[in-house]
Amino acid sequence: MRQFIIGVCVLASAVVSPAAADSQFVRELDAYCVSSDGTREGVVASQDGATNFYVQRPSGTLEIVRSLHNRQAVSHWHARLDAAGFAVMEWQELDAPYCAIERLQAGRLHRVQWREDEGPTALDEIFASMLGAQINSQGAWQ
């Protein structure tokens, strides 16, 4: 139980501030949607394959929905973002509701935001894959 609590505390700091890990060698992904009431739901994935689903309420409370490990899937998401030209996509600051993908890479945070159901076509499948990732009953990544 103690390890779980420590893991949740470490995850909470990563979800609230992904840019806190300031190393040029760290790669982090965060795909999420923010509702009109300010609730943020998404998935944050680290380069080592740790993938955590979360709900962050406007009050600041954070619920971890699931924790998975799959380095291959996270690497695949990075490769697909690269192929889609994510690093050069422009973004504008939007009021909620909106969805976004953030990537911390080489010490720099890049974010692309869009209105729900109006996202860049090049990111549609990647975003859906990240938010829909789960483990099937045999323990295999879907």
Q: What confidence score (pLDDT) does residue 26 get?
A: 65
With a pLDDT cut of 90, the percent of the chain lying above it is: 48
Q: What confidence score (pLDDT) does residue 69 get?
A: 76
Helix axes 124-132, 71-84, angle to 10 degrees: 160
Which parts of the chain sit beneath pLDDT 50? Answer: 1-23, 135-142
Distance CA 17, CA 11 (A): 10
pLDDT digits (tens, 9 = 90+) for 113-136: 999 888 889 999 999 989 887 543
Q: What confidence score (pLDDT) does residue 66 get?
A: 64
Find out whether 106 and 19 touch, Cβ atoms under 8 Å: no
Q: What confidence score (pLDDT) does residue 100 get?
A: 96
Domain map of the chain by residue range? 2-132
Q: What confidence score (pLDDT) does residue 45 get?
A: 93
Q: Is domain 2-132 in CATH 3.30.1560, yes or no?
A: yes
Q: What confidence score (pLDDT) does residue 12 get?
A: 44
